[in-house]
Structure formats: structure tokens, C-alpha cells
Amino acid sequence: MPYTTVERVRALSGLTASDITDTELASLIDEADRLVESFTGRAWAGNESDYALAGFASSCFTIALTYLRLVKEEGKSDSWWKKGLDVCEKLKISVTVM
């Protein structure tokens, strides 16, 4: 199950179907989920308290990838990438503390 949804990515980013199709977004969500798992060192289950944070990180990475690859707005990509990395750092800390 993906950590985020096409609808959530659109709501956070303001990206429309004319910017990127649902199919393209779904593909980028899959890639973003793998990034979250790579950066945090683990997969996340829907019943975990930090699952929502993993979803937000995935949304951030999806938006960053969209701006970088398809919309070609690197400045916007950078800020979303940083947000995703910041959340992944918090997730790594929460795993270490537990």
C-alpha cells in the first residue's frame, strides 16, 4: 500500500491533471515510497504511529520529483525535497529512541 495518495499530493502541491496525470503521479509515489524506506532504513505499516509522517515524506518527495522531472521548476523541487528529508530524519530518530 502506498504511503500517500494522488489526491493528497494534489492537495498539498496544487498540481493539476494538466500538470501531471494520475498515472504519472502514481508512478512517482512508488518511487517516493522507496526513497522514504531507503532514507529511514525500513518499511512502514499502516498501524504504526509514525505512518502519517512516512506518508507526508512520500508526498514531499513525490512533489519534488514532479517539479524536477515534469514541471521543470527546480526551485520548488528543492524545498519539497528538503521537507521530505527533514521528516525522514525525524522518523529515523523516533525509531532509534523506541
Does residue 84 belong to any structural domain of this protein?
yes
pLDDT tens, 71-96?
777 678 899 999 999 999 999 877 55
Question: 62 and 32 in contact (C-beta within 8 Å)?
Answer: yes
Q: How confident is the model at residue 46 (pLDDT cuts 50, 70, 90)?
A: confident
Q: How confident is the model at residue 63 (pLDDT cuts 50, 70, 90)?
A: very high
pLDDT mean over 56-79: 88
Does residue 1 belong to any structural domain of this protein?
no
Does residue 71 belong to any structural domain of this protein?
yes
**E strand segments, 9-96:** none
Task: Please give the share of the chain, as a percent, with pLDDT higher than 70.
Answer: 94
Nearest CA to 4 among 69, 52, 38? 52
Residue 73's identity, in one-letter code, is E
Q: What is the count of structural domains for the chain?
A: 1
Instruction: Give pLDDT, residue 27.
Output: 97
Could you list the residue range(s) of the whole structural domain that residue 92 is in? 6-97
Question: 65 and 10 in contact (C-beta within 8 Å)?
Answer: no
Question: 6 and 19 in contact (C-beta within 8 Å)?
Answer: no
Instruction: Give pLDDT, residue 48.
Output: 81
Question: Residues, the chain, total?
Answer: 98
